[in-house]
Amino acid sequence: MAFLPLVVLIALLAANLTVFGDGGLDGPNQLALLLAGAVAVVIGLAHGRAFNGLLQHIVDSITTALGAILILLMIGALAGTWLLSGVVPAMISHGLQLLSPKVFLVAACAVCCVVSLATGSSWSTVATVGIALMGIGKALGMHEGLVAGAVISGAYFGDKMSPLSDTTNLAPAVAGTDLFTHIRYLMWTTFPSIAITLLIFAGVGLFMGADKAVVGVEEFRAAIATKFTIGWWLYLVPAAVIVMIWRKVAALPALFIGTLLGGLFAVLFQGQLINELAGTDGSYASRTYKVLFTAMGGDISVVTGNATMDELLSSSGMYGMLKTIWLILCALVFGGAMEGAGLLQRITKALITQVSGDGSLIATTAASCVFVNVTASDQYLSIVLPGRMFAPVHRDRGLAPQVLSRTLEDSGTVTSVLVPWNTCGAYMSTVLGVATLTYLPFCFFNLISPLMTVLQGALGYRIARLPKAVP
């Protein structure tokens, strides 16, 4: 019975894919999540749960994501002012000049590794350098899913390893170990995973034969130069955001300041473009005000005459994030209903009965993290729920808490982005402009990490144990 809401959800999502195709995110998938959540509520009521209690779980589930929703809106505004100010066009122009197709994928992944490690945030990394790298990759004629996979793989490396990351702090707290013990132990699975990932991207770059894609690079750069004043000073804006996050300024105020700086630099350096977009009605102040607020809140497009560049040089601001927020809210309703009705806990307890050894326990924990990412639609729940459920079992088997914390990170943190209706999957898809199922096959780091932790568990390699009590 606990599986029934999940079966209903999968069936509805499959029907939506058949009937609506790419239009599933325009409402059908949101309704599928709500209907599956309603089934979970009915099951909870049938088993003695109070409706007000179920409703409170749903409200609590939504509340946990309010910060993420605000960040999502702010990144929409930031994308608009960074386009208008020339920050993103400058990154695209210089990136086209410096990066050849053969090294682009591995370089993009490595850059995102460094930035996310410094900031501790996969979301901020993707929203800043990730957007620019997507533009460069498209201009080089590369498959958008492949470029997004490189960006996300690098971004989630730092999300796992940085002491500034929220999930890197959450996992050891749930498991009962300290932060740096967790990070040191995490290296044994994370470094091999990212090394394999970089080798794959390097191999793809060498054998894809994309040198011919460079032919139009100068045309792209010329198209950007006709509309924007490009200079080194534009990089002060993203540098300021990265420094703020590195100095542990919370993501929301850091992104807000980055949005304002983008608007300021647009006024200082892109006055000609502002006049072109604003038209001739009203005073200069009112026209500037109108363009800035449109960039932050709504649609803005810069027409260069080059079709590829015109597609890249557009933004939908906060308005463009509303569909994703709608999906996230519906997903959290489903996850809250599943948890409030006790269905997630029931399924996880059933999995525990299948544990027969250390490797089996690690594999079951990893599978539970993935399962919660799919059903509860939230990265944090995929760490907290399995962590709570499996901590006593790990202790009873004499496994050190860092074994559990590493498994939670290897399987919960990185797979959240692979689920279209998960908060992370919906966010990445919207920010990068690539459907989740399009980039999923190319997120090599995210796919390899859970397999690496399961493999090492099966082999018994580097499995830390609790010290035996001295008689």
Look at strands 314-315 and 300-301 and give their pairing. antiparallel
> DSSP for 299-357?
-EE---S-HHHHHHSEE-TGGGGHHHHHHHHHHHHHHHHHHHTTHHHHHHHHHHTT--S
pLDDT digit string, tens, across residues 331-389: 788 888 988 998 877 877 777 777 778 889 999 999 989 988 887 777 877 887 788 77
Q: How much of the chain exceeds pLDDT 70, in percent?
A: 94
pTM above 0.85, yes or no: no
pLDDT digit string, tens, across residues 163-217: 767 788 778 887 888 877 888 899 999 999 999 999 999 999 887 654 444 545 6
Nearest alpha-carbon partner for 315 in 246, 266, 252, 257: 266
Query: What tokens were used for 139?
Result: 């201009």
Handedness of CA 20, 30, 131, 158 (dihedral sign): negative
**Do 306 and 224 touch, CB atoms closer than 8 A?**
no
Count of CA atoms in the C-beta half-sphere (13 A) of 441: 6
Q: What is the pLDDT of residue 216?
A: 58
Examine the pLDDT at 112 and tell me if it is beyond 70: yes
pLDDT digit string, tens, across residues 384-424: 778 877 888 888 888 999 999 999 999 999 999 999 888 88
> DSSP for 442-466?
G-HHHHHHHHHHHHHHHHTTT--BP
Residue labelled with tokens 């009605």: 281
Contacts of 416 (CB under 8 A, 6+ apart): 373, 378, 379, 382, 422, 423, 424, 425
For the segment 80-102, the average pLDDT, to the nearest whole number, is: 80
Length of the chain: 471
